[in-house]
Amino acid sequence: MIDKTYQPAEVETRIYAEWEQAGAFRAGTPERAAAAPYSIVIPPPNVTGSLHMGHALNNTLQDILARFERMRGRDVLWQPGTDHAGIATQMVVERQLMERQEPGRREMGRAKFLERVWAWKAESGGTITRQLKRLGASCDWSRERFTMDEGLSRAVLKVFVALYNEGLIYKDKRLVNWDPKLLTAISDLEVQQVEVRGHLWHIKYPIEGSDEFITVATTRPETMLGDVAVAVHPENEKLKHLIGRKAVLPLVGKLIPIIGDDYADPEKGTGAVKITPAHDFNDFEVGKRHGLTPVSVLTIEAKLTLTDNSFHSNLQRSPDLEETLKMEGMDRFAARKMIVSRLEEKGLLDKIEPHTHVVPHGDRSNVVIEPYLTDQWYVDAKTLAQPALKAVREGKTTFVPKNWEKTYFEWMENIQPWCISRQLWWGHQIPAWYGPGEKRFVAETEAEACAQALKFYRTAPMEDGKPYAPNLREVGIDAVMPALSSAIREEITGLSIKRDEDVLDTWFSSALWPFSTLGWPDDTREVARFYPTSALVTGFDIIFFWVARMMMMGLHFRKEVPFRDVYIHRLVRDEKGAKMSKSKGNVIDPLGIIDEYGADALRFTLAREAAQGHDIRLSPQSVENNRNFATKLWNAARFVEFNGAGRVAGFNPNGARETLNRWIAHETAKATREVTEAIEQYRFNEAAAAAYRFVWNVYCDWYVELSKPLLTGPDGPAKDETRATAAWALDEILKLLHPFMPFITEELWRVTAETGPRRDSLLVLAPWPKHDGLDDPDAEAEIGWFIDLVTAIRSVRVEMNVPGNALLNLEMINPSNETLERAQRWDEVGAFNRLARIAGTTTVRAASKGSIQLVVSNSTFALPLFGVIDVEAERVRLEKEMQKAEADIKRVDQKLGNPNFVANAPEEIIEGEKEKREEAEGRRRKIVEALDRLKSAQ
RNA sequence: GGGCGCGUAGCUCAGCGGAAGAGCACUACCUUGACAUGGUAGGGGUCACAGGUUCGAUCCCUGUCGCGCCCA
């Protein structure tokens, strides 16, 4: 028995458990050994994360694909997992320590701290996974992975060492984006350019040996202490004469050269810029071009470091310099204020302009990023990008929508070295060890690094010419190389190697996700079967972070693209189109929505709105509407049940005799094609719309209504057939909707199995419909005719204010045989009565007096409404219709009268136009007749 | 500055060379045995603007004006 109302909360939990119990989401089962594989890797959410609307959309779309392909018989692997989110997770645990007033991470030390992080992960790391299950995600949870787990860590080590040995990973001292709050380097992509209203300070630098000044404009006066030059454009007419002279750096007294460089834009500011290579990316390049040594004046915490700094070692001590050195340890923003005010005091501040410019901010810490000169590890992204570019150009991987390929190309073509080291503890520690003399050993294990060190130091002579006597005791040489002879043991006393403290960017491990999750570097069945994956579903904001890097790593290590299709979806916004954000307070919590309306309603809403290339505006109202759709489906199923329309074993609608049943079979086949094709093309909104239309506007509005006379009529073959067809079509509906609304459809699949033949499987594993030979143009034409006629009658009834319960006669004026037959068929079963409140049909030669006449499909009908109708109003109504018909005829005539049209337009279009004309002309004729009758009837 | 995209019904958006569509909202009527989380009917659009290509343009091209987003 189907309950009166659908209770999502209760059903969803139960159904999900059933799926898991049945192992329905498992990939690689023996039953599907012969099936074609279909695989998707989940974009791993942060282990710290909880489900937001973006996840809800992303995973709904993946689940639609996974369920669709599973039903199509493929061996589906939807690979789940989470990433370790280096900075985010470390921050979470550090915050927790602070809240509990426990010792901070530095006090407790690395090992202890990492224990705490793992403990946190064990406790809270499963949140988002549980939430994905509530959404209905059909991932193979038995294969869940984590970027820090053993296998994936092994993959990271292997990749790092391999790339290092190939020269594609290297260590370099250059400017990086430094986060002075988190005290780590970050990659370009983790930097947000934020437009801020700042100032442009114009500072006068005295020119050596004159009373002239050169005025530089800067947004960062505090970095001037690290200036090494002033640059002007070599063709700057006003200033180029100063090139080659020297300026006196205010507050320091150092002489710095005035150089000519294109970088100084004559139009900008004063045309002269200070050059501070240690604190600005552009200046760094200028410095390099002119052989200037960078002067760094900031600490890792972005505080001034001056006293122990070489830039003033050769300078004469002046009161100014002394005063400056007193600023030691001052924060960068305080320093800015003080420097500005000191310059002002000295009359060296020419002016201050308001100035809007972009300032880099850390996307995690939200503090201003410092370009900072340090040693970091880099990936030679440019080299790795080449095959990745080629693969997309050659169509081995396709972006959907296609225009994202342009974004991908543009970024890949201008790709910069990727800084992968992070000064954090939580993450994959870089497998590099350093021995005496800063010699580096990169290896997958410490043992190997030791071996390398041993080899190196045993053969490398030291400064004094003697062989170095290494000592590996500290790193456990006994465990590492137990077979060492005592002679070597003797020899190696004194050497120790120390591991690089830094960890890798989380995205480094994420880049391996499509194959590391499948067991690589081991040679697993999974890698062979499921790589390359079939599709990747993700947001555009992550193309650079993730998609591009997976392409690079996948191609380098597997020699094959990681995925065939990349479907890029857009953002979910609030109903006003604003980005959801905690600070704005407009966040819609998907779990709250699921609680209130059910997961299916949320999923269907997201799918219906997920048009390619458009952000989604989500309102609770729209979710409610789709919840109503679920209710509609539920009630249709109840109708079928009430009417004894049970499933019949082996029923094939192909053999249906009733027009109505042949029609719904035809429509089912049509809807199935539409949904299938749309999902195949990632047109989720079209697929959902087609299903919606079919269920509501075809099955419920017309099929169910028209089946009522048959189902409530006398027993017999027609009734039996209709029952069987109604149940059959409902089954097909459940299948078509299952990828979108898995819970309610599975529940109905279960309840409708209580009677009739046994189900072979859960719906989740049922075969996707594929219909041949159900197309029936005759049935379509007849039901179309019926719908048009009923709609016309209803329309007139409302227009004429006929009371709802009043029964009318339907007169057919000189009907064709076809019309007569059709009308009789539907009248006999009482369809006109039920759907249009028609008592009966009669054939007449002319409409009776005072009747309303309807022209439908070139037949004229009349509704006798003697005394009810206003003849004048009716004349106006008919004339309006006539005008419409005439306008149609005129439009077609214009086309057909145009010789160019007839000469150029394709045959079928011309035929179509001619048919249209015929139809309109027939309609016009009938209306003229109707008008005549109206007049004569008066 | 470079790139991508968007201006279609009151709102949110499909459609993108052959007679303007959906959902919601709105109006009127309807407690009919699946469903008021419903039914029936209806109103509402020079498809941003200006040119061009075409037999034919909401759709293709060019420009203008608005509005987003990404990258410098």
- Residues A661-675 have a mean pLDDT of 93
Q: Which of A382, A443, A368, A445 lies closest to A412 in space, CA to CA? A: A382
In this predicted structure, which of A112-126, A253-267, A635-649 has the lowest mean pLDDT? A253-267
Asked if the model's pLDDT at residue A621 lies above 90, the reply is: no
A586 CA → B71 C1’, Å: 28
Q: How far apart are CA A63 and CA A742, in angstroms?
A: 9
Question: Which residue is nearest nucleotide B6, judged by alpha carbon to C1' distance?
Answer: A614
How high is the pLDDT of residue A311? 75
How high is the pLDDT of residue A488? 54
How high is the pLDDT of residue A144? 94
Q: How far apart are CA A499 and CA A601, in angstroms?
A: 53
**pTM of structure:** 0.88
Q: What does the pLDDT look like over A387-431, one tens digit per residue?
A: 999 898 888 998 888 888 888 888 888 888 888 999 888 999 999
Task: Please state whether strand B lies within 7 Å of residue A614 at its CB atom.
Answer: yes
The residues facing A575 across adjacent strands are none
- Residues A706-732 have a mean pLDDT of 92
Q: What does the pLDDT look like over A792-824, one tens digit per residue?
A: 999 888 878 787 778 888 999 999 999 999 999
A486 CA → B21 C1’, Å: 88
Check: CB of residue A659 under 8 Å from CB of residue A783. yes
Task: Please state whether strand B lies within 7 Å of residue A902 at its CB atom.
Answer: no
Higher pLDDT, A80 or A362: A80
Using a pLDDT cut of 90, give the percent of chain A over it: 37
Q: How confident is the model at residue A475 (pLDDT cuts 50, 70, 90)?
A: very low
End-to-end CA distance of chain A: 58
How high is the pLDDT of residue A243? 81
Q: How confident is the model at residue A934 (pLDDT cuts 50, 70, 90)?
A: confident
How high is the pLDDT of residue A470? 43
How high is the pLDDT of residue A469? 42
A868 CA → B20 C1’, Å: 36
Q: Which residues contact A163 (CB under 8 A, 6 or more apart)?
A: A169, A379, A556
CA A390 vs. chain centroid, Å, equals: 24
Q: How confident is the model at residue A869 (pLDDT cuts 50, 70, 90)?
A: low
How high is the pLDDT of residue A347? 84
Which of residues 740 to 799 on A have a Cβ less than 7 angstroms from any strand B atom? 791, 794-795, 798-799
A614 CA → B1 C1’, Å: 26
Asked if the model's pLDDT at residue A473 lies above 60, the reply is: no
In this predicted structure, which of A747-751, A817-821, A906-910 has the lowest mean pLDDT? A906-910
Task: Please state whether strand B lies within 7 Å of residue A621 at its CB atom.
Answer: yes
How high is the pLDDT of residue A467? 43
Q: What does the pLDDT look like over A95-138, one tens digit per residue?
A: 888 888 888 888 888 888 899 888 888 888 888 899 999 999 99
How high is the pLDDT of residue A485? 52
How high is the pLDDT of residue A148? 93
Higher pLDDT, A21 or A459: A21
Q: Which of A129, A130, A138 lies closest to A62 in space, CA to CA? A: A138
Asked if the model's pLDDT at residue A382 lies above 60, the reply is: yes
Q: What does the pLDDT look like over A351-360, one tens digit per residue?
A: 888 777 788 8
- Residues A49-60 have a mean pLDDT of 89
Q: Which nucleotide is nearest to A630 (CA to C1')?
A: B37
Check: CB of residue A59 under 8 Å from CB of residue A49. no
In this predicted structure, which of A100-114, A258-272, A473-487, A779-793 has the lowest mean pLDDT? A473-487
A847 CA → B32 C1’, Å: 29
What distance separates the 2 farthest-apart alpha carbons in chain A?
A: 129
Q: How far apart are CA A751 and CA A736, in angstroms?
A: 17
Task: Please state whether strand B lies within 7 Å of residue A900 at its CB atom.
Answer: yes
Q: Which residues contact A723 (CB under 8 A, 6 or more apart)?
A: A643, A644, A645, A646, A648, A711
How high is the pLDDT of residue A460? 47
Omega of the bond prior to A43 within 30 degrees of 0, cis? Answer: no
Asked if the model's pLDDT at residue A474 lies above 50, the reply is: no
How high is the pLDDT of residue A510? 92
- Residues A10-14 have a mean pLDDT of 94
C-alpha distance from residue A733 to each of A428, A567, A675, A766, A890 (Å) = 49, 26, 11, 12, 43
Task: Please state whether strand B lies within 7 Å of residue A612 at its CB atom.
Answer: yes
How high is the pLDDT of residue A431? 94
Task: Please state whether strand B lies within 7 Å of residue A600 at its CB atom.
Answer: no
| Three-class DSSP category at A174 | strand
Task: Please state whether strand B lies within 7 Å of residue A5 at its CB atom.
Answer: yes
Question: Which residue is nearest nucleotide B40, judged by alpha carbon to C1' distance?
Answer: A794
CA A928 vs. chain centroid, Å, equals: 58
C-alpha distance from residue A81 to each of A16, A40, A141 (Å) = 18, 12, 8
Which of residues 823 to 852 on A have a Cβ less than 7 angstroms from any strand B atom? none
Asked if the model's pLDDT at residue A461 lies above 60, the reply is: no
Q: How confident is the model at residue A170 (pLDDT cuts 50, 70, 90)?
A: very high
A145-146/A169-179 β-pairing: unpaired
Query: Token pair of A478, please?
Result: 């006994």
Q: How far apart are CA A589 and CA A55, in angstroms?
A: 11
How high is the pLDDT of residue A27? 93
The residues facing A811 across adjacent strands are A842, A862
Check: CB of residue A609 under 8 Å from CB of residue A569. no
Instruction: Report chain A's mean pLDDT, rounded to a whole number.
Output: 86
How high is the pLDDT of residue A487? 54
- Residues A159-173 have a mean pLDDT of 93
Instruction: Supply φ then ψ for residue A106, to 5 degrees.
Output: -65, -35
Q: What does the pLDDT look like over A130-162, one tens digit per residue?
A: 999 999 999 999 999 999 999 999 999 999 999
Query: Token pair of A773, please?
Result: 């030979």
How high is the pLDDT of residue A492? 54
Protein-covered nucleotides of chain B (CB closer than 7 Å) are 3-6, 12-15, 18-19, 22-24, 28-35, 37-42, 54-56, 70-72
Q: Is A124 exposed, middle or buried (0-12, 13-18, 19+ CB in 10 A)?
A: middle
- Residues A193-202 have a mean pLDDT of 80
In this predicted structure, which of A590-594, A758-762, A894-898 has the lowest mean pLDDT? A894-898
Asked if the model's pLDDT at residue A520 lies above 50, the reply is: yes
Higher pLDDT, A99 or A165: A165
Asked if the model's pLDDT at residue A477 lies above 70, the reply is: no
How high is the pLDDT of residue A466? 45
